[in-house]
Chain A
Amino acid sequence: MATKQRSSSAALLRYLGVRLALVVPTVLILVTLVFFLMRVIGDPISAKLGGQLTPDELERRREAAGYNRPIFVQYFEYLGNVVQGDFGTASKDNRKILDVVLTNGAATVELVCWSLIIAFLVGIPLGRLAARYHDRLADVTIRFFAVLVYAAPVFFLGLVLKLIFGAHGLGILPTSMRVSRTTELALADLGYDSHFMIVDALRSGQWVYISDVLKHAILPAVALGLMEAGIFIRLIRINLLETLRTDYVVAARARGVAERRVVSKHAFRNALIPVVTVMGMEIALMLCGAILTETTFEWPGLGYALSQYLLARDFVAVQGIVTAIALLVAVISFLIDVINALVDPRVRY
């Protein structure tokens, strides 16, 4: 038995090793793609200031920034910098991109976490309900709901929420930023700066701050969470319908296992395997949603920063943030692989 266990965990490690090794080329391809795509329009300086400066002045600035060297030299230099964690400096506000990524990244991660809580709370029960009452009224209603939340762009959903709950509607919830100014200053005074607002608020132990953070999170989390819930509902419904028809579910019924247990211990557990896999692929979609949500609610995350830099035509910053997001996606999809290996014993084999 001991040897069996050991060989199985060795297989698991090998599987994860292979997966990890695959992350590298993925990231490399993306970084390369982004770099060269951005350079098709010229270097960041000409792209931003072309036409506004005299040719001589432009040339002088390009030379100062090193953009007149061969493109491959610049490419490898950029790669080297990225490896060392240097994504460049934004010309708009002279912030280090790495700084922006860390500060605003925390906000994005926090938003995604809140929205996932909403998505799980809404999506999983509704998905299970729809599968259970397949083709009946509950299923039909839930399917239409899922289609609608999918069809509504996050920013439109956010906008409607803002109209309803914002100052001109019910006026009960804040519609922009992560916290109110006073809370932010108070937390900063206390010396908490993890960039995760809820963590800082909890550390302060003051209900005023905690509730302020939570209130700010509700609308963005609901907007993004409902979009994700739409995905979950569809995924869980269809996979549960499929596992409910498998032989092992019939076999479990045939040995007298109670229906509730058949669904939760056999059908649902197996339905989760493809759900987790697909979730790994939907991460990219969720990040898109996060970018739009942040812009709608002025939530100072990566997406918000990105849209600000885009408007300012600061392409060094855009390239840096896009590269950082590519890294983030790669890391998350690796984590999904780990979860997958834990859920499905066949992967470890």
Chain B
Amino acid sequence: MKCAVCGRKAAVEVRRQGRAFCPEHYLEWFEHQVARAIRRHRMLEKDDRVLVAVSGGKDSIALWEVLRRLGYDTTGLHIQLGIDDYSKRALEATRRFAEERGLPLIVVDLKEAYRLSIPELAELTRRRACSVCGLTKRYVMNRVAVEEGFDAVATGHNLDDEASVLLGNVLHWQTDALVRQGPVLPAKEKLAKRVKPLYLLTEREILAYTLLRRLPYQHEECPFAVGAKSLLYKEALNKLETAMPGTKQTFLEQYLKKIEPVLQKGLSAEEVALKECERCGYPTTGEVCAFCKTWDHAYRWAKRKGQIPGELRFEAEPRLTFIPEGKRGGDARPAPAQEPAG
């Protein structure tokens, strides 16, 4: 198989486009795809300050690298989930990437900020770890972006993530979730703009980019992801994709083009106005937001079990650790510089 650009031996095949590329032209193609998605959906302006949500996995690391190469002003945000050594290795990969490139990084350690880790939060609330983890990450990302004055939060969601979420939402006809599927969620009062520049690139393509660029990333899977429905949906879609290249892209793109606008219109009458959460002041449809409700609930049980002092009240403001740009090697300890948010 030959490179579609130069005719040399190909290293990566992009079956859905019927093309293959050598390493050099693959990297070029990949970065061009991201730049095009950003332009097409007006995700970012050239001088935007972008907060990149970085878990340390291949998608977020590849995203940060491409945005950096495209010349955006980026800062990483890494959330320490407290999932034993898995989380420690995630921070190591993230720090190594940031330090090697002289990029600024903000770390929020949930256990330090809120006294509980994700496994503890899941156990105390009797909810699935992925559910409370997703809720907490979205809240922290938004709050840091709003309070630190970023123009947008960029996440590493890829075509497989988006297509599998779409499949899950369609299988259960989750209309409220279906209308929030786009690659850009616009900013509202106290809600930062959220963008997904990798939404048309597959996980396989992102992994190829990460390997060819030799980016440090965390290979291992989160222990809580085992048996997750999203993996089942992804596997099913990958079987379809192998038999019919382009299936995932068509499924997502045609949904966004043809169905989502109709759903948006049809559901607009049901749209509930946002108000401020009584506990934290951030937008919610109810009196108290889901984040505060979940953590308040966990605190009540943690107090009963003696895990935290009885007089402790849950405070939603995250504590941030700033790791300044250009900081290299030598200091493998958790970042010493502590600055409060806001």
Are A and B physically bound partners? no
Binding site for A on B (CB under 8 A): none
* Contacts from A to B (Cβ < 8 Å): none
